[in-house]
Structure 1
């Protein structure tokens, strides 16, 4: 089975600082204490076993916010020395609300494999789920700096909750020439309530109405620790139906999702869920969309 994996994380605790791994906690996404170990390219490829990973996209691993460019520098060094140029794409971290955001973006853009930026936006009224405690999309300086992504040819990985999707869709319409990629199928966290499902479904449809928005089918294990093929199936199908096979892509979210399953089990589950799709649709979902959207 061949895949392009557009959402992985690597870290080297001996040479770099990751605040969340320096003092790991247990949260709704799992026990981060079990992730407090190096996870390098060789570890990912070893986890892949018989899954043939053609290319990968590294998404910022919440590296030291005082020096986000160091993570990109490190990753580019790995790619330059790797046989297949992995990570083939780098989605770097940046705080677009910061005064130095323009300089940070320019520094990231200097590296050949940089393709985009992710800044986690997740805000939730329940403190258990609240990542950042502020609504960045409502802040004038953040929005001003967001407009610089086009200048540097960068996409934006959109990590948020359904309650934020209406604002995000407005942002996507205002920046129609910037590629947005929704992380983790929209992070449907309020899944025990009927209104929670509706908020996710309707929010995803608002985002999908913007032609410059794509989605990653990933991160399901963060909300479904005992996942099965059947528990994933409705969310995968609904997301593909909403965005179409041409704007959806499967991804592993490793090693975070490794807390609740193996790499091979996850990809084989995805393959089983879309087993009745055409060969062209499967190729798009597992390989071509990630290559096209991330330009790798």
Structure 2
């Protein structure tokens, strides 16, 4: 089975400054202690992690590079791709509410490797409370600017903020919005899962909405198909295989399970789907959305 890994990271925090990977103390993190991933993770480390799987292409995600150097990571990643033909596409860092957004877009939009941008909006720790960052006028203006540059938007936010997306999306309805990490269904109580499903169903009604099924780890638990099968299948059924794709989120999700455990879990969870549906989930959707050409058959 072939795979396009639609979301993973390359980083080398010894050479390049990622504050969360270098600074002390470490930041609070949803998987807990992340000290084991504060080290180089490049093609060699990725190949070791993914051995046994036919990864035909992949998409790298920004890794919260030094905010004082807003185009540095995208330029560096373009150099990595030029030297090795990997990755096939990159999601660049860009702060939608910063005054320098226009200048940043001018640079990253010219890089062949860049397809999309990510800026995690401000979020509440739990449902309820004040609106999050997607309600800020400056953030919305930044989202609209992506349309003019022909860029997509990768959105990472907890499911309880998805209700803010439609008002923002109206400003640039042609910009694809790719939801990262399955909407972060961390609360696995019946109430939490019901809220997650309702939010995902509402989000999926927008024609430009796509989902990456990834980031399903739970703190202090090893990744298991028992924990995640129903969420994987519900996400697929809500969006359809043509608007869903699988991703490893490595090395981050390596805190919860091996590459083989996670991708094998996606395989097991989708055994009842047809061959064309599985091809879309593992290869086709990511290739179409991120413009990855010449995927081996």
**TM-score normalised per structure 1:** 0.92
1:86 and 1:164 map into 2 onto residues whose CA distance is 33
The counterpart of 2:198, out of the listed 196, 199, 202, is: 202
Inter-CA distance 57–257: structure 2 relative to 1 (3 Å threshold): same
Q: How does 1:74-85 map to 2 (within 5 A)?
A: 74-82=76-84, 85=85
Give the distance between the partners of 1:240 and 1:210, measured in 2 at CA.
Answer: 15
Task: Give 1:25 deviation, angstroms.
Answer: 4.1
Distance 1:5 1:122, change over 3 A: farther
What does 1:8-157 correspond to in 2, within 5 Å? 8-23=8-23, 24-25=26-27, 27-82=29-84, 85-121=85-121, 123-125=123-125, 135-157=132-154
Indicate the residue corresponding to 2:7 in structure 1. Answer: 7
Q: 1:115 to 1:264 in 2, by over 3 A?
A: same
Aligned counterparts of 1:110 and 1:222: Cα–Cα separation in 2: 38
CA RMSD of aligned residues (A): 1.8
- What's the counterpart of residue 247 of structure 2? 251
Query: Which 4+ residue blocks in structure 1 deviate beyond 4 angstroms?
Result: none
Verify the 8 A CA contact 2:212 2:245 in the aligned structure 1.
Answer: yes
**Could you tell me how far 1:276 is from its partner in structure 2?**
1.5
Note if contact 1:3-1:55 (Cα within 8 Å) is conserved in structure 2: yes
CA distance in 1, matches of 2:269, 2:257: 16
8 Å Cα contact 2:144-2:171 kept in structure 1: no
Which whole-Å deviations, capped at 9, do the CAs of 1:17-68 have from their partners, x for residues lacking one? 0111113345332312111111111110121111011111111111111112
The answer to whether residue 221 in structure 2 is matched with residue 225 in structure 1 is: yes
Structure 1 position 265, deviation (Å): 1.6
CA–CA separation in structure 2 for the residues paired with 1:153 and 1:222: 35
2:187 corresponds to 1:185: no
Contact 1:157 1:180 in 2 (8 A): yes
Deviation at 1:230, TM superposition (A): 1.7
User: How many angstroms apart in 2 are the aligned matches of 1:122 and 1:286?
Assistant: 31
Aligned residues of 1:154 and 1:178 also touching (Cα < 8 A): yes
Q: Is the 8 A contact 2:122 2:134 kept in 1?
A: no
Deviates further, 233-242 or 133-142: 133-142
Return the alpha-carbon distance in structure 2 between the equivalents of residues 46 and 226 of structure 1: 20
Q: Structure 1: 5+ residue runs without aligned partners?
A: none
Please tell me whether the aligned partners of residues 9 and 254 of structure 1 are also in contact (alpha carbons under 8 angstroms).
Answer: yes
Is the CA contact 2:186–2:218 (under 8 Å) kept in the aligned structure 1?
no
Does the 8 Å contact 1:173/1:210 carry over to 2? no
C-alpha contact 2:60 2:91 (8 A) present in aligned 1: yes
1:175 aligns to what? 172
Q: Secondary structure at the match of 1:150?
A: helix
Q: How many residues are paired up?
A: 288
